[in-house]
Chains A and B, each alone.
Chain A
Amino acid sequence: MTSPVLTASSVSKWFGSVVAVSDVSFDLGAGVTALLGPNGAGKSTLLRILAGLTAPSSGEVKIFGVDPRQSPAVRRRMGLVPQQDGLFERLSARDFVTVAASTHGLVDPSVAAARALAVVNLDPDDPRACRTYSKGMRQRVKIAQAIVHDPDVLLLDEPLTGLDPVQRRGLIDVFRHLGESGKCVIVSSHVLDEVAKIGSSVLVITQGRLAATGDYRRLREMMDDRPHRIRVDCQDARRLAPSLVGLASTTSVTLEGADRLLVDTVDIDTFGRSIAPLAIEAGVHLDAIEPLDDDLESVFRYLVQR
């Protein structure tokens, strides 16, 4: 395995008696990772620590083996979209991103700024000041300043907030492309269906603690204490139901009309192997079988509620 790009080791952060982040450890490499958690879980604080904006109360963060708070060289390879809405209000988007490019030491900052703005579908020649921009446009300016120097590590705190569906789709493609091209991209978001489109790797944080990390589909498979719910569409649900109840792994079968069953099972593999023979045996034609709770939202809900 290649060495991780970003390492958090026993990171904790407290403000007085309030613990915002508690003993969080993980390694991340290239690719997109979603940082998930309910409001107040500590996502933004963790991102600030990862960016070096605030020091952890204990533990350490290393990016490319170096503390980002101490090293300008590491900050050169890092981009951040902060959660807060503030921009340099009197500047145009081009000037704002040009300042970012200049302070990153880019050779032709204005050209780099124009390119970054084009990536987020903003007009580089728009002379209006940022203060006149809509929420979505401001969000895109923030993303442009974060990617203008082509960072190897990109930290995005709620980057899709305020964007319309078309803009979201466009930026999701951008983030996914960055992850596929070898960048380490961390996206904090509460829009789970959008996050699922960006990638499948997640860090779930609840009450400041790391609840789970890894591919959410793998995480779902590991949730043995929670039955999988499967919808079965067939020609005669009432005739098929007793056969499914007979499976030892089935915990419940619910009739949803004449041609639909909802089945809860603790062993998805056994269910998958058994359903077709049982249907043939019962003389029932199967139309569709669809898992209902293997999506990211179900995994997330389970993790934060347990």
Chain B
Amino acid sequence: MTTNTPPATVAPVAVLHRFMVKTSLSVARILMVAGLGALVLAVAFAIGSSADQTQTRVAQMVQGLGLAIVVPVVSLVFASAMLGDHRDDSTMVYLWLRPMKPWVVPTAALAAVWTIVVPATVVIVSAAALAAGGDTEALAYSAASALFGSMAYSAVFVLASLLLSRVLIWGLAYILVWEGFVAAGAEGAARLALRSYTISILGGERDVDLDLARHSVTTSIVVLLVVAVLCAVASIRVFRRLDVA
């Protein structure tokens, strides 16, 4: 066997990050993202080629498909898998038992989710904005909303995967029921919906008519970043106290 070496932290993060990216990129998940992207782009092209194309219609398309479906669902699929799969199939023991600081595994997991989800969602949402005939501003605000939105959603779902089993179902319920219906109809509930902040970024300072766009861009970015940081910190705390099967 080999000689033990002093504790290290940075290298394990990189190792785990690489490992988690590799293991979570299954064919089924890649096909799901590609299919979702293709669907959104097809709709975007249809809108872009229609006679009554306006910047408001472009923004509404990005809101309805990009920010309501692509960003949260892609984030959910990968974030729930990153630690949740290990929890469900009892392989968490091989991560938890290693001599690493408590922050290493959750941080590596979140970094791995961001590595996959942020580029995927930003590219899909931006491409959809372009395909629908969006101008430069539309492209910039679409990309920003996907960027900060995917960061926040990913952190929320990584935390949820440590707290709940079957997080995919709970996550879909949050996206479809809470954000899709409850938040749309109640002012107070909208404050607890990440979608209201991503849509606010999408609306920007532009003259486009979007439901739920009730906050300034700065406020929305700050809120989404704070949510991401708080969930990351909470994930570390939960992971340290985890009862590992």
Residues of A whose CB lies within 8 Å of any CB of B are 48, 51-55, 72-78, 80, 82, 84-91, 99-108, 111-112, 115-116, 119, 145, 147-150
The answer to whether B100 and A80 touch across the interface, beta carbons within 8 angstroms, is no
- Chain B contacts of A116 at CB under 8 A? 1
Please report whether the interface of chain B is mostly helix, strand, loop or mixed according to DSSP.
Answer: loop
18 interchain pairs, CB-CB under 8 A: A51-B97, A53-B243, A72-B7, A73-B7, A80-B93, A82-B90, A90-B23, A91-B23, A99-B19, A102-B15, A103-B100, A104-B4, A105-B5, A105-B7, A105-B12, A108-B2, A119-B1, A149-B2
- CB nearest neighbor in A for B104: A103
The answer to whether B1 and A75 touch across the interface, beta carbons within 8 angstroms, is no
Which of B1, B5, B89 sits near A107, CB closer than 8 Å? B5
Residues of B whose CB lies within 8 Å of any CB of A are 1-8, 11-12, 15-16, 19, 22-23, 26, 89-91, 93-101, 243-245
Kindly state the separation between the CA atoms of A104 and B244 in the bound complex, as whole angstroms: 19
Kindly state the separation between the CA atoms of A77 and B113 in the bound complex, as whole angstroms: 31
Kindly state the separation between the CA atoms of A51 and B99 in the bound complex, as whole angstroms: 12
Kindly state the separation between the CA atoms of A91 and B26 in the bound complex, as whole angstroms: 12
Complex A-B, nearest 3 residue pairs according to Cβ-Cβ distance, in ascending order: A150-B1, A76-B99, A103-B98
- Chain A contacts of B23 at CB under 8 A? 88, 90-91
The answer to whether B8 and A105 touch across the interface, beta carbons within 8 angstroms, is yes
- Chain A contacts of B7 at CB under 8 A? 72-73, 76, 105
Closest chain A CB from B31 CB (angstroms): 16
The answer to whether A80 and B1 touch across the interface, beta carbons within 8 angstroms, is no
- Chain A contacts of B6 at CB under 8 A? 105
The answer to whether B3 and A53 touch across the interface, beta carbons within 8 angstroms, is no
The answer to whether B1 and A112 touch across the interface, beta carbons within 8 angstroms, is yes
- CB nearest neighbor in B for A51: B97
Given contacts A53-B244, A99-B15, A103-B15, A84 and B97 within 8 Å (CB-CB):
no
- Chain A contacts of B19 at CB under 8 A? 88, 91, 99
The answer to whether B98 and A104 touch across the interface, beta carbons within 8 angstroms, is yes
User: How many contacting A-B pairs (Cβ < 8 A)?
Assistant: 104
- CB nearest neighbor in B for A44: B245
Kindly state the separation between the CA atoms of A87 and B243 in the bound complex, as whole angstroms: 18
- Chain B contacts of A112 at CB under 8 A? 1-2
Given contacts A53-B93, A53-B244, A88-B94, A106 and B100 within 8 Å (CB-CB):
no
Kindly state the separation between the CA atoms of A150 and B2 in the bound complex, as whole angstroms: 6
- Chain A contacts of B2 at CB under 8 A? 101, 106-108, 111-112, 115, 148-150
Given contacts A72-B100, A73-B99, A103-B16, A149 and B89 within 8 Å (CB-CB):
no
- CB nearest neighbor in A for B13: A103
The answer to whether A105 and B89 touch across the interface, beta carbons within 8 angstroms, is no
- Chain B contacts of A55 at CB under 8 A? 243
Known: A72-B99, A75-B99, A90-B22. 5 other contacts (CB 8 A): A86-B91, A88-B23, A90-B23, A112-B2, A150-B1
Kindly state the separation between the CA atoms of A49 and B192 in the bound complex, as whole angstroms: 39
Which of A80, A84, A119 sits near B245, CB closer than 8 Å? A84
- CB nearest neighbor in A for B15: A102
